[in-house]
Amino acid sequence: MLDKTIAARIFEEVDRDFDRQMADTQRFAAIPSLRGREGPAQDYIADLLRDRGYEVDDWTVQPGDLAGLPDLGALERVPAGVRSVVGTLRPEGGGGGRSLIIQGHCDVVPAGPADMWNSPAFVPEIRDGWLYGRGAGDMKAGTIAGIYAIEALRRAGLRLNERLHLQSVVEEESTGAGALAVLQRGYRADCALLPEPTGLAYNGICVGVVWFRLRVRGRPAHVASAGSGANAIKAIYPLIKALEELEERWNERAAKDPDYREVKHPINFNPGIIKGGDWASSVPAWCDLDWRLAILPGWNLNDCRREVEDCVKQAASRNPFLAQNPPKLEWSGFLSHGYRATERPDIMQALEHAHSNATGEPLRHKTSTGANDARFYGNYFDIPAFCYGPLAENIHGLDERVSLDSIRAATKTIACFAAEWCGVYRIDSLRDSEAAGTCGGCDGDEE
Ligand code: ZN
């Protein structure tokens, strides 16, 4: 267990550097790294890592290069490729510890209507102890917290005994291709920590997510003779209703799950995007509806996909127009199993110590109704993975925000966890006061 005085020294460094950490968080959150436009965000992280002496690997793969990887979603909308940035710190001495991956995603979801935000989504603003902005909580504050956690160790004159990879990926919000790309590249460790906004709780359980698009095509007509033309938008109704019924059946099934039976309505089917028609006075010839749905850990993805296909097929067969013009179902993004981490006593102990040192409170556990990249590590590469990070609200919604106090606490926890997990050694040739000036990127005037 980490020595109390060492922990106190680490916390001092987190506090001392916190303004700079928040300035970096704000600058990072100001980058509108929407899907396919993450380049500047990856540049930003690569620079932060390079400044701190990490060996930086920055590469791009095309969707086709990832074929065959497990649970890879449909990548039709990623023409620019999948870019990953990994910073590595190798132990210069020490040894005998365990290696660690800290991974964040830099992609963010669209902000929605600009006039519905109290301050612009990509002009991050601090108000009343919260940082507001799209992606501030999910999960730019967490990624920067990971970097500053390791920085605090270095400023405290400590070095990790084992290899650390700080990874920034894309596509977390749509296919998971970013996490798969770093695994394909060969990055491995004894444990992976993802500083997603868990509200300072441990999260090792998450749902799987599936995206699909329903395409309905009808015969166009003038609205005055609507009887003769099939209305593609109206034809979507019975399909929505049928899928809502399937959602309820899946929630009944979920009520028997030991982890999810306490969670209210864990399975959410979301019709998220609807497009259709071209003219108010024309009967719409087409309608596309994009869905997100969830499956619980342990459920078979292919069986679930078949259930969805059958549900759409049956609903279509009961409708006179759809029976003649069967809707098309296309998988359009996520195709992912859920994840239930095996709780490893060594990881739990290190995290419990770190969290209670940093916050003075016992560690809570959280069961997630969303998906995250931990699943790839745990499900397919035998790397125990979990999420732990700050407290955020309205992620994917309006006025997304993340609490500054929780960012500070998460940074301290991550620093202590890394120190305990990887093991640390002191730089003997330097006194504490001088050691803080040895890391790249430090202002050197804090002492
Ligand atoms: Zn996230």
Three-state secondary structure call for residue 430:
coil
Q: Note the helical H segments in 198-319.
A: 232-254, 301-317
Residue type, 201: A
- Cα–Cα distances (Å) from 36 to 78, 81, 104, 367, in that order, read 6, 8, 17, 30
107 alpha carbon – ligand 1 mean position (Å): 8
- Other Cβ atoms less than 10 A from the Cβ of 224: the count is 9
69 alpha carbon – ligand 1 mean position (Å): 21
356 alpha carbon – ligand 1 mean position (Å): 24
Cα of 123 vs its chain's centroid, Å:
21
293, β-bridge pairs: 210
> Which pTM does this prediction carry?
0.93
- In the prediction, which pLDDT does 229 show? 63
355 alpha carbon – ligand 1 mean position (Å): 21
363 alpha carbon – ligand 1 mean position (Å): 21
156 alpha carbon – ligand 1 mean position (Å): 30
198 alpha carbon – ligand 1 mean position (Å): 10
- pLDDT (tens, 9 = 90+) of the chain, 447 residues, equals 788 899 999 999 999 999 999 999 999 999 999 999 999 999 999 999 999 999 999 999 998 999 999 999 998 766 679 999 999 999 887 678 899 999 999 999 999 999 999 999 999 999 999 999 999 999 999 999 999 999 999 999 999 999 999 999 999 999 999 999 999 999 999 999 999 999 999 999 999 999 999 999 987 776 766 665 689 999 999 999 999 999 999 999 999 999 999 999 999 999 999 999 999 998 899 999 999 999 999 999 999 999 999 999 999 999 988 998 999 999 999 999 999 999 999 999 999 999 999 999 999 999 999 999 999 999 999 999 999 999 999 999 999 999 999 999 999 999 999 999 999 998 864 444 444 333 333 333 333
436 alpha carbon – ligand 1 mean position (Å): 32
- Other Cβ atoms less than 10 A from the Cβ of 370: the count is 16
204 alpha carbon – ligand 1 mean position (Å): 14
- C-alpha closest to that of 211 among 169, 176, 181: 176
Task: Give the gyration radius of the chain's Cα atoms.
Answer: 24
128 alpha carbon – ligand 1 mean position (Å): 23
- Cα–Cα distances (Å) from 77 to 141, 209, 329, in that order, read 27, 17, 17
- In the prediction, which pLDDT does 295 show? 97
142 alpha carbon – ligand 1 mean position (Å): 9
206 alpha carbon – ligand 1 mean position (Å): 12
- In the prediction, which pLDDT does 219 show? 78
140 alpha carbon – ligand 1 mean position (Å): 9
164 alpha carbon – ligand 1 mean position (Å): 21
- In the prediction, which pLDDT does 427 show? 83
Which CATH number describes the domain made up of 208-335? 3.30.70.360
Does an H or E element contain 144, and which?
A: helix 141-155
238 alpha carbon – ligand 1 mean position (Å): 33
138 alpha carbon – ligand 1 mean position (Å): 5
422 alpha carbon – ligand 1 mean position (Å): 25
Domain segments of the chain as ranges: 4-205+338-440, 208-335
Dihedral sign, Cα of residue 66, residue 71, residue 76, residue 82: negative
388 alpha carbon – ligand 1 mean position (Å): 11
370 alpha carbon – ligand 1 mean position (Å): 9
Locus of tokens 């405290």: 156
CA atoms within 13 A on the CB side of 288: 9
Q: Which CATH class is domain 4-205+338-440?
A: alpha beta
Give residues with Cβ within 8 angstroms of 315, minimum separation 6. 238, 239, 241, 242, 243, 322
173 alpha carbon – ligand 1 mean position (Å): 7
Residue type, 390: P
Could you tell me if residue 399 is left (phi over 0), alpha (psi between -120 and 50 degrees) or otherwise beta?
left
284 alpha carbon – ligand 1 mean position (Å): 36
Residue type, 217: R
